Structure 1
Amino acid sequence: MKYYLAGHRGMVGGAILRQLRGRGAEVITRTHAELDLTDQAAVRDFMRAERPDCVILAAARVGGIHANDTYPADFIYENLMIEANVIHQAFDAGVTRLLQLGSSCIYPREAAQPMAEHALLTGPLERTNEPYAIAKIAGIKLCESYNRQHGADYRSVMPTNLYGPGDNFHPENSHVLPALMRRFHEAVQDGRDSVTIWGTGAPRREFLHVDDMARASLFVLDLDPATYRAHTDPMQSHINVGFGQDVTIAELAAMIAEVTGFDGEIAFDTSKPDGTMRKLMDNSRLSDMGWNASIGLKEGIADTYRWFLEHAGEVRR
């Protein structure tokens, strides 16, 4: 089977690529310079020329609260174009199996916890990342629509907050765990005795190591169609992927401080937004299929910090 993996240079795509190569699979990849996924004609020509058997869509414009709030037009436009082009042109080239990766931000801000798949479209979204969330919801509905109208086998997985080797450690545009890791690391390097974190520290978040996410993605992709249909709803066919437990941002900060060797004060800037107060995934659908995460948070943070130190000159600035 020939796979096309979109987004292979990202954190999740890189983890999936390692898994596929470990299987000895034939994998096609293209960098952004080689193929702009927002260019419909370029994607069409690529799909027709390569004719992959299976497509994994891990490419996306991503970022944390600051990036989402600062660049909303970029986030909704680029993600809508990527999804529409890859999914439609894959179908047009005869691809019958596709997996697209979304995000837990698709669920309403006040969704009951833990968030189950059926909570989709039942209430208002979190304001700070609404454009990105709407684009990800559109990707789910694109897959479901091609399944319903054309009999395709297009599947969606919705990960919780991901972290691990290959993450984005930009001080402003990254997600909370890598941003904190870099902040604490630099505080230790500079000899500072205090680190300030946005918000109150009270929001709770769930974190999943990217290697677990890669394994879950291929697990879902490999399910036979009858099993996948038996555990999903045609109108809400996406599958949550999470760790099953959450921690407060304050607890997360304490873990990262310990791993990085920071022993100073952790302060909280309560003038900054907290975002959604809790985001915990209901993983029962995937668990019932036979998959559960295996990398604990403390273990994963330590693994990520080792990677950060080994690649200090290469992390995205």
Structure 2
Amino acid sequence: MHSPLNRDVPVYVAGHTGLVGSACVRLLRRRGFTRVVTASSAELDLRDHEATAGFLRRHRPEVVLLAAARVGGIAANHAAPADFLSDNLRIQLSIMDAARALRIPRLLFLGSSCIYPRDCPQPIHESVLLSGPLEPTNEAYAVAKIAGVTQVSSVRRQDGLPWISAMPTNLYGPGDSFDPERSHVLPALLRKFDEAVREDAGTVTVWGTGTPRREFLHVDDLAEACLTLLEHYDDDSPVNVGTGEDLTIAALAELVAATVGFRGRIAFDPRRPDGTPRKVLDISTIRALGWAPRIGLAEGLRSTYAWYRGAQEVVVR
């Protein structure tokens, strides 16, 4: 069993400019960590094995939080599966190989709930990993993340390093990508409904049938979960991190519409893919460690929308 981290040890957050990494940096600094190590993609290409190894040798972190990844929604995954597979494999291998060579004692690899089979019992328990076929729309990304989980467990067995993995559900919050071609469903809907209000559109069309069910976790809650796991979890099994609650995409669209003030018609396009029918996580493992989500979806949507509008105003200026 791990123990609380010394606030003066160097902690490397890989992917600190992204949604997850930025939330982890905010939390670590708020909790008094004095040596948070970061590097932007302009400073360090994590796909470069030698450059990454050199960076870790220079900074000698005692903790690595591996939040770096190439991410995107259904459209992005469908358009560039080879890129998602290659980039994520290289990022993971570069960081973990370097961390292994240095025998860095604590590493948390962040995967994704998409690693689980498309059709499996709900809520999804960690034990169903590799028990069935993946969802085709994000198979390449999922395979890369499964490789990361396998690498963590392999290092544990071969080298005795107590590394761990966490599998977050669908995330949202400040720092998310609202790019119409690459974003996930929640930020995509926020942008779409916001634009509809500003253009005085009468109808907003949502991809798919609206029937799939999804679970959403605020990224600040995930950051809290990451620290909880680093300090209190030491086991080979990946740990689910979510809310344990889900809703239909249709219900999510209605909630987003209410958040941004859209009063028109919501239509659905069944020609577009739905993805996995349902995906909600069993979070009993991390709940047993004392963690629980604190930010409700309605509250989180309001704050995320406020952040998005603020970011838009900065761009306009």
TM over 0.5: yes
Is 1:283 the counterpart of 2:293 in the alignment? no
* Partner amino acid, structure 2, of 1:248: T
TM-score, normalised with respect to structure 1: 0.95
Q: Is the 8 A contact 2:170 2:215 kept in 1?
A: yes
Correspondence 1:205-284 to 2 at 5 A: 205-223=214-232, 228-229=233-234, 232=235, 234=236, 237-284=237-284
1:142 alignment partner, one of 151, 156, 166: 151
Measure, in 2, the Cα distance between the counterparts of 1:160 and 1:128.
16
Q: CA deviation at 1:172?
A: 2.0
On the 8 A contact 2:15/2:69 being kept in 1, the answer is: yes
Unaligned runs of at least 5 residues, structure 2: 1-8
Number of equivalenced pairs: 306
Query: Within 5 Å, which residues of 2 pair with 1:75-90?
Result: 75-90=84-99
Match of 1:303 in 2: 303
Partner of 1:12: 20
Q: Which residue of 1 aligns with 2:202?
A: 193
| 1:29 match | 38
Query: Does the alignment pair 1:171 with 2:196?
Result: no
CA contact (8 A) 2:103 2:161 kept: no
How far residue 200 of structure 1 moved from its aligned partner, in angstroms, is 0.3
SS in 1 for 2:268: strand
Specify the SS of the correspondent of 1:251: helix
| One-letter amino acid matched to 2:88 | N
Unmatched runs of 5 consecutive residues or more in structure 1: none
Contact map agreement 2:239 2:286 (CA 8 A) in 1? yes
Deviation at residue 171 of structure 1 after TM alignment:
1.1
Letter in 1 for 2:64: V
Query: Which whole-Å CA distance do the structure 2 matches of 1:71 and 1:313 have between them?
Result: 31
Residue 314 of structure 1 deviates from its aligned partner by 5.6
User: Quick check: 1:51–1:94 contact (8 Å CA) kept in 2?
Assistant: no
Distance in 2 of aligned mates of 1:288 and 1:219 = 11
Distance 1:141 1:314 in 2: 42
Counterpart of 1:10, as a letter, is: G
Structure 1 consecutive aligned stretches of length 4 or more whose deviation exceeds 4 Å:
none
Match of 1:132 in 2: 141
Q: CA RMSD in A?
A: 1.0
Amino acid at match of 2:262: F
Question: What is the one-letter code of the residue matched to 1:40?
Answer: H
State the Cα distance separating 1:244 from its structure 2 match: 1.2
Q: Distance in 1 between matches of 2:209 and 2:31?
A: 44
Report the counterpart of residue 83 of structure 2 in structure 1.
74
Equivalent-residue separation in structure 1 for 2:67 and 2:208 (angstroms): 30
The equivalent of 2:5 in structure 1 is: none
In 1, Cα distance between equivalents of 2:58 and 2:118: 42
Deviation at 1:293, TM superposition (A): 0.5
Aligned position for 1:51: 60
The answer to whether the Cα contact below 8 Å between 2:165 and 2:239 also exists between their aligned partners in 1 is yes
Name the % identity: 54
Letter matched to residue 86 of structure 1: I
| Alignment partners' CA distance in 2, 1:32 and 1:313 | 25
The one-letter amino acid paired with 1:3 is: V
Q: Matched residues in 2 for 1:299 and 1:24: separation? A: 26
1:155-191 deviation digits (Å, cap 9, x = unpaired): 1110000000110001121000000000000000001
d(CA) in 1 for partners of 2:258, 2:220: 23
2:64, 2:108 within 8 Å by CA — same for their partners in 1?
yes
Give the CA deviation at 1:94.
2.6
Does the residue aligned with 2:163 lie in a helix, a strand or coil? strand
**Per-residue deviation at 1:35?**
0.5
Q: How much has 1:222 moved relative to structure 2?
A: 1.1
